[in-house]
Structure 1
Amino acid sequence: MSGELIGTVVDEVAFDVERGKIWEFSRATFTTDPVHTDADAARTAGFDDLLATPTHVVVAGHRRDQRAFVEKLGLALERVVVGSVRWQYLRPLQAGDSLRGVRRVVGDERRDGKRGGSMRIVTLETEYVDSAGTPVVRQQDVLIERGKSA
């Protein structure tokens, strides 16, 4: 299966960037910059509304069918770990933004482990666009599926 899934759309998700969620992320990540919690401070800094924190798009995970995407990729969930997550912001997200994300497979390979066995490494990329269809965030996730134990 390695490599043949490249380009496959895994799922699509849509959500609004909400003030309440921005506040929750700010609190959870101990964010101190008032542009995330005070609309007046955000406006003074030149924005229309509260700025979302850098990891805000993880809310998409609450709207996705995680089991379905794991099955679509042919992964054994009990052997999968997240290797890394990266975000590239093309512009700041603000309260009131409506986003749609399409997640695709951009890498799928098998590697031999240093201690024997093999692993599968699947790289996913989600491009989030705003209501005008303009890309605003790209997220890359690397999933590692450990080989079966003997």
Structure 2
Amino acid sequence: MSRTRTEQIVDDVTFEVERGKILEFARATHTQDQVHTDTAIARANGFNDVLATPTHVAVAGHYRDQRGFVTSLGLAMERVVVGKVRWEYFRPLAAGDKLRGRRRVVSDERREGKRSGQMRLITLATDYIDARGDVVVRQSEVLVERGEQA
């Protein structure tokens, strides 16, 4: 196994947590808690607006330069799968929050696979920062670039 430790910044993204997107995520994930769908209930529970569902920051992908990201890491996109994603919340996200996400490479390693030859595992971390400068969500993900098939 070969491992490269790096803190390379691969992209920055800025977006607003939109009420309409929150409702789309709530429907798609069959969310039952009405703090995600009803502003009055969210406010009655002490929040300024409806709350985003746990995977909401995935919407950042719509604002990123995905082609530039793939190119900067030298990935063969047709061989890439997501191995793992984890979100750590420091506070709930609500409609109207403005976030900036800075994605960086935490590690980049190669391993020998049992069936697919050498694999590349890239661990990424994104800190989503609010308008006050506080980290509100940290997303960790592992991308796996499978080896070329013979």
Regarding TM over 0.5, the answer is yes
Deviation at 1:115, TM superposition (A): 2.8
Q: How does 1:1-150 map to 2 (within 5 A)?
A: 3=4, 6-115=6-115, 117-150=117-150
Deviation at 1:116, TM superposition (A): 5.8
Deviation at 1:67, TM superposition (A): 1.3
Q: Secondary structure at the match of 2:35?
A: helix
User: Quick one: distance in 2 between partners of 1:59 and 1:128?
Assistant: 12
Percent identity reads: 64
**Deviation digits for residues 23-78 of structure 1 (CA, Å, limit 9, x no counterpart):** 11111111111100111100111111110000110110001111110110011111
TM-score by length of 1: 0.95
TM-score by length of 2: 0.95
CA 1:116–1:83 in structure 2 vs 1: closer, same or farther (change >3 Å)? closer
Aligned-pair RMSD on alpha carbons? 1.3
Q: Secondary structure at the match of 1:3?
A: strand
Once superposed, which parts of structure 1, at least 4 consecutive aligned residues long, lie more than 4 Å away?
A: none
Amino acid aligned to 2:63:
R
> Which structure 1 segments of 5+ residues have no match?
none
> Which structure 2 segments of 5+ residues have no match?
none
User: Quick one: distance in 1 between partners of 2:26 and 2:116?
Assistant: 43
User: Quick one: distance in 2 between partners of 1:43 and 1:116?
Assistant: 52
**Deviation digits for residues 65-100 of structure 1 (CA, Å, limit 9, x no counterpart):** 111101100111111111011100010001110000
**Deviation digits for residues 94-138 of structure 1 (CA, Å, limit 9, x no counterpart):** 111000000000010000112361100000000000001100000
